[in-house]
């Protein structure tokens, strides 16, 4: 197994890097970041070209391509409704993808380093705020997405196990709520930020007088632009080789009401925003403790408002006519 030199990564512009899940929100941002930094030997496969749930196909791919670095952001993802309706899919597919890719990357012998991307939903429902890495497995999960969360926790532990047993340089990063280009703007299955952006845009186009939003608007949430996450992932590839997973967030939180007002302004909707307090608010607060990553020397750079402006521009140019 090749050893990893921290100082070398950013100078290896010709290194073969496999980005698993390059068409998704996270993977596409990582691909853009790598290309912008001059990395030109990227290995990319669509789902049709390589089904990551098929162990033999994944093993053949790694034996053939022999990548030096692997960025694992391929996953089956979805909102509360999807997680509740298809729990078997969410635990089985994600476990299959992770197990196949991590094991094949190790066994092919060429992969110096792998980074596994998870989610903040790995933490307990009633975790302390802000949520430190040490909160993992300290109390029960949020029931609505526990199948996905357990799969991601298993990915973290698998990475740690391969590091302990084989001395392989494999790390995990857990991002907070993400948004940006290639987000999911589906009317039922999207998360709060892209969902609100679509609703305000459609209200503007139809000259609606008001938009009704669920809840009181009081819950606090943290958001990170996906381009900042991509920057953090490459930073960790070059600067971190510890056993514990690392939180990746902006360190800043806004109320859902503040978020809605900001999106309303960016979109240019002139009508009223009506809150429906009879609908559930969800968790009052969900903020990641990003002090570990900050001590390593990384912090988010894209402000929420600037990120919203760029995301709405992308939505107008790429998504609005494909709904």
Each residue's pLDDT tens digit, 208-265: 999 999 899 999 999 999 999 999 999 999 999 999 999 999 999 999 999 999 999 9
Annotate 61-78 with b (16+ C-beta within 10 A) or e (fewer).
bbeeeebbbbbbbbbbbb
Can you list the pairs that 121-130 forms with residues at least 24 positions away whose Cβ atoms lie under 8 Å?
Answer: 121/145, 121/148, 121/149, 121/152, 122/149, 122/152, 122/153, 122/156, 122/174, 125/283, 129/285, 129/286, 129/287, 130/287, 130/288, 130/289, 130/290
Query: How many Å apart are CA 265 and CA 47, to the nearest integer?
Result: 38
Residues 6+ apart with CB under 8 A from 204: 267, 268, 269, 270
Per-residue model confidence as pLDDT tens digits over 102-155: 999 999 999 999 999 999 999 999 999 999 999 999 999 988 889 999 999 999
- Domain regions of the chain by residue span: 6-182+224-250+287-302
Q: Which fold has domain 6-182+224-250+287-302?
A: Rossmann fold (3.40.50)
Query: Which candidate in 69, 106, 123, 148 is catalytic?
Result: 148
Q: Is position 69 annotated as part of the catalytic site?
A: no
Q: Which helix (H) or strand (E) holds 225?
A: strand 220-225
- CB of 201 within 8 A of CB of 315? yes
């Amino acid at each position: 197994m090749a050893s990893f030199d921290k100082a070398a990564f950013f100078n290896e512009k010709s290194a073969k890097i496999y980005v698993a899940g390059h068409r998704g929100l996270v993977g596409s941002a990582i691909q853009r970041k790598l290309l912008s930094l001059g990395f030109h030997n990227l290995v990319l496969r669509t789902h049709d070209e390589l089904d990551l749930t098929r162990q033999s196909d994944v093993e053949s791919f790694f034996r053939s391509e022999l990548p030096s670095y692997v960025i694992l952001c391929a996953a089956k993802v979805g909102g509360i409704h999807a997680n509740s309706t298809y729990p078997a899919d969410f635990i089985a597919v994600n476990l299959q993808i992770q197990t196949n890719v991590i094991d094949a990357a190790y066994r092919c012998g060429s992969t110096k380093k792998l980074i596994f991307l998870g989610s903040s939903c790995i933490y307990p429902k009633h975790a302390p705020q802000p949520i430190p890495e040490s909160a993992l497995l300290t109390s029960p999960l949020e029931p609505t997405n526990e199948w996905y969360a357990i799969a991601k926790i298993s990915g973290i532990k698998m990475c740690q196990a391969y590091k302990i047993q084989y001395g392989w340089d494999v790390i995990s990063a857990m991002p907070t709520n993400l948004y940006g280009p290639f987000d999911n703007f589906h009317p039922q299955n999207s998360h709060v930020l892209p969902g609100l952006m679509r609703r305000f845009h459609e209200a503007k186009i139809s000259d609606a007088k008001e938009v009704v939003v669920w809840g009181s608007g009081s819950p606090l949430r943290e958001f990170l632009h996906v381009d900042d996450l991509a920057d953090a992932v490459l930073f960790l590839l070059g600067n971190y080789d510890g056993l514990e997973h690392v939180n990746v967030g902006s360190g800043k939180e806004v109320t859902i009401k503040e978020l809605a007002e900001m999106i309303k302004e960016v979109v240019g909707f002139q009508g009223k925003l009506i809150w429906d307090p009879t609908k559930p608010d969800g968790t009052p607060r969900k903020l990641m403790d990003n002090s570990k990553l900050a001590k390593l020397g990384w912090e988010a750079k894209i402000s929420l408002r600037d990120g919203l402006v760029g995301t709405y521009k992308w939505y107008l140019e790429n998504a609005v006519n494909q709904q």
